[in-house]
Amino acid sequence: MDNKFLWGSATAAYQCEGAWNEDGKGLSNWDVFCHSEKNNVNPVTGDVASDHYHRYEEDIKMMAEGGQNAYRFSIAWTRILPNGVGEVNQKGIDFYHRLIDTCLKHEIEPLVTLYHYDLPQKLFEKGGWENRETTDAFEEYAKVCFKEFGDRVKYWMTINEPNYDTLCSYAIGNYPPNVQSLSRRWHAMYHLMLASAKAVNTYRKLGLNGEIGLVSDSYSIEALEDTPAYNQAKKNADLFFNRSVNDVCVYGHYPEQFIQKLVSDGVDTSYMFEEDKKIFQTGTIDFLGINAYDRILVKPYTSGETILTNNNTGTGDGPKAVIKDWFEFDDDPTTEKNPWGMEIYPKSIYDLLLELKALYPTTPVIITENGIGNYDKFINGEIKDPYRIDYLKGFIENMLEAKTKGCDVRGYLVWSTMDLYSWINGYEKRYGLVYVDFDNENQRTPKESYYWYRDFIRNYEE
Ligand code: BGP
């Protein structure tokens, strides 16, 4: 990896591109879900989103003018292989060539995620990530991307958030396929990890000059009490959220305690084949992408069936979880939260980075997402978002502090480059450094935080 610290921002295809049925793109599970009656919390779609497909040049220019030298985006699998496998769509490939070339023209390093939640509908209908064939389809798709773009893309990420994606899709049930079953969740997550390892192996075989990682939503797991029961709850939550992903892609195997826990839960693990062990062992990553937003506070499990909920409306409480025989979520009433109940706790990134250093001392980290959603207001041509500046400043300071303690952090990307579709939270939960006026031809206006970030990067000295 080269030495330049990456300062930039991030997006994902379905959340910003729009052009959902243009230039030969196939349908994804999110296209279909958003058009269905199951999408009933904030029933809007990503059909147009931030119109990045047509306005990427303006967006990338704005990043460059904002002092950013890195852009993380994802490729829509359905633009490359409209049916998930087989026929390749040249117009989709051409779009990403243009996007990458525009980044390079502005001296912005492209960091490319291959899979950020949007699965080809054709594969989704055949069982999606619960079907082992999807891992082969992903490998095929990854290979096309590596061959097309691998000469200019030096940072690849296989999968975005195997933990959070499957938690929403198969445990909370608010993302397609809207299932509430932890055992099905573990099944889908296993295949995501296998798909990632297969893609890493393929990348290595091609001998390209670049690095490949996975993006993991990882958390500093904390408790309000220091007792054996609380400490055990912390260990369980660490396996549940962090180590079931990070150990697998960094060390190439599942933690023994995690497998034991699944077995004692009575989870069917017959889909974990002996031959996969080799794939995991050889498919380890070069760097860990970390999406860091908040910590997880836990307490011991007491009673009741497993239940997970999230706040997708911006009113009421934050996320809740009771994971039978593992842990429960706790709440610290003294800390500040955003309207969706996300705790604002910047020290969590410091604690997390030190924990990652202890567990994976030789694996570099890139903070692939960090940011805060809020109801930003466009008043007299300006967007004042001091809460975002405070949040970013707090996290960046803590990240840099961890760096001085020896954590090998190589980059930091704000979520998000501009306002975009916040999954089932809709469009009102805004994360962007740049405001998008969704009701007025998607016009862009930089927010106060954009200028703050620009000045911060300008003054940063390693
Ligand atoms: C991450 C996802 C992003 C983004 C972000 C904010 O988990 O990788 O795609 O959406 O979280 O989350 P949300 O939009 O649900 O508030």
275 classed as catalytic: no
The answer to whether residue 104 is domain-embedded is: yes
The answer to whether residue 24 is domain-embedded is: yes
pTM greater than 0.85 (yes/no): yes
Backbone angles phi, psi at 263, to 5 degrees: -65, -45
The answer to whether residue 25 is domain-embedded is: yes
Structural domain count of the chain: 1
Output the pLDDT for position 3.
Answer: 72
Check whether 47 has a pLDDT greater than 60. yes
Give the range of the structural domain holding residue 163, as residue numbers without chain letter.
6-218+283-292+347-459
The answer to whether residue 61 is domain-embedded is: yes
- CB of 236 closer than 6 A to ligand 1? no
The answer to whether residue 443 is domain-embedded is: yes
**For ligand 1, mutation pick of 11, 421, 423 (most atoms within 8 Å of CB):** 423
**For ligand 1, mutation pick of 167, 369, 419 (most atoms within 8 Å of CB):** 369
Model confidence over 191-228: pLDDT tens digits? 999 999 999 999 999 999 999 999 999 999 999 999 99
Check whether 443 has a pLDDT greater than 90. yes
Check whether 1 has a pLDDT greater than 60. no
109 classed as catalytic: no
Distance 227 CA to ligand 1 centre (A): 33
Average pLDDT on 244-260 reads 98
Q: Is 294 helix (H, G, I), strand (E, B) or coil?
A: coil
What is the spatial distance between Cα 235 and Cα 267, in angstroms, rounded to a whole number?
A: 19
pLDDT classification of 375: cutoffs 50, 70, 90: very high
The answer to whether residue 265 is domain-embedded is: no
User: Where would I find the beta strands (DSSP E) of 228-269?
Assistant: none
Distance 207 CA to ligand 1 centre (A): 32
Question: Whose CA is closest to atom 10 on ligand 1?
Answer: 422
62: domain CATH number?
A: 3.20.20.80
Question: Whose CA is closest to atom 4 on ligand 1?
Answer: 422
- CB of 254 closer than 6 A to ligand 1? no
Output the pLDDT for position 176.
Answer: 98
Output the pLDDT for position 461.
Answer: 86
- CB of 237 closer than 6 A to ligand 1? no
- Cα separations in angstroms, 185 against 89, 178, 298: 31, 11, 21
Model confidence over 75-127: pLDDT tens digits? 999 999 999 999 999 999 999 999 999 999 999 999 999 999 999 999 999 99
What is the spatial distance between Cα 406 and Cα 400, in angstroms, rounded to a whole number?
A: 10
Question: Whose CA is closest to atom 14 on ligand 1?
Answer: 422
The answer to whether residue 270 is domain-embedded is: no
- CB of 164 closer than 6 A to ligand 1? yes
Check whether 186 has a pLDDT greater than 60. yes
Q: Is 329 helix (H, G, I), strand (E, B) or coil?
A: strand
Distance 314 CA to ligand 1 centre (A): 14
Cα of 311 vs its chain's centroid, Å: 18
The answer to whether residue 27 is domain-embedded is: yes
Distance 422 CA to ligand 1 centre (A): 6
Are 158 and 64 in contact, with CB atoms under 8 Å apart? no
